[in-house]
Structure 1
């Protein structure tokens, strides 16, 4: 995911949460094994005719009767059919369940666990540049031993590290809603970058658009360039700024979260302001100057 990270808090990493978190969920034991409905027909009836027996009139009980238990009179019930009906495949087993209940996952404790709850965590470029600490209050539903649903408030602390990108996930295990007979759900916060009025982020680089008059684009100039965080730097340009011209300044971009001390670049893109009107004399002067330049 282009360097997207996933951060997971457990009992030791998050001092504000004393509860024990479940880790390393697995879907290997998600569904209990079911016996095949064909197992009741595991042996075939022999085609060899058997000798008549005085007990041949006694047949098996139907599956809807007393299941082989003696009747109150002390004798087994007899069926009017000489052959037992073949077992039928239940629709509930052969077809997909029509229940709309959410899919539950199993974990190492053997208890079912609902899917995680995702929430957005909006951060400014400045917060992702310097890093910050965010405190978020959540309300979750917890089922008591008597089956009553109560609401609990929790205060979660997220330490945003410098250089985190959009899409970075921070997981708090077991801090979601808890239902009877199931493990509590996880809460996942996903980093979302707020739009900045000046800068646009591309990976670890920052892009900045600067407007410049045509005269300065042709003759050179010294510009005051804003930096993320409120500072400014002086930039002198002696080149002719043509369409598509860019100036790259190293180590003035976003910090790299995986390499401490390393930063991306600041890419300056120029928007040349052309005049909208020219007099005939100005056109003549420009023509005389630029006629032999190309």
Structure 2
């Protein structure tokens, strides 16, 4: 779980709208409007609207203009807005893209504001703060966490006559169950992931006792026997037809969800 939170942590970033002019204070009379960018489905957007409403009630002199997009093209849209000098004032950024925005110089260090306003960093997940530190400066605060989980289609298991795993199942049990399905005959795959996302592969590496980085993040360890065996297991399942090859680096999680819902996939 510790590493799961680290990989999937979303960070709220403050855009350095002043660019090369520095961070000198700009005084403005009257209400201030801030553009806040985020991604999400309709349910998530509803949560954001509640947050915005509560913030505006507490700060009546500040109005929030939401900029919302689906996740698939969200970060590309942000890059385009930044390049066109139309960057939002505040934005959520997925951990995967954090350093890309840092390299662009598109986010401003929050360290001075944290010190000025005496923000208690103990309120946030420790690894979220660590992940946001670059050259000793904090560039973001954790907005939330997203756990990884395994979904099992109970109807598919029942129709295929495959027993459900126990709560203490192992990687050997997982591989055995995936191989219990017969995609060539029944058109049902035991398991599928989108390998375009590292977070889909990491749990298998961790379950084998492997990691991608050493504890101090100074060495790459993805070539260790443990990590290699996990990747080889997935590669064999793909090669032998037990996992759909269409999902390799597809970047189409929505398709996987449809396949899971219509009974094409037993686990995801």
Q: Could you say which TM-score interval applies, normalised by the shorter chain?
A: under 0.3
Greater share of residues in helix: 2
Higher relative contact order (CA 8 A, sep 6+): 2
The structure with the largest alpha-carbon Rg is 1
Greater share of residues in strand: 1
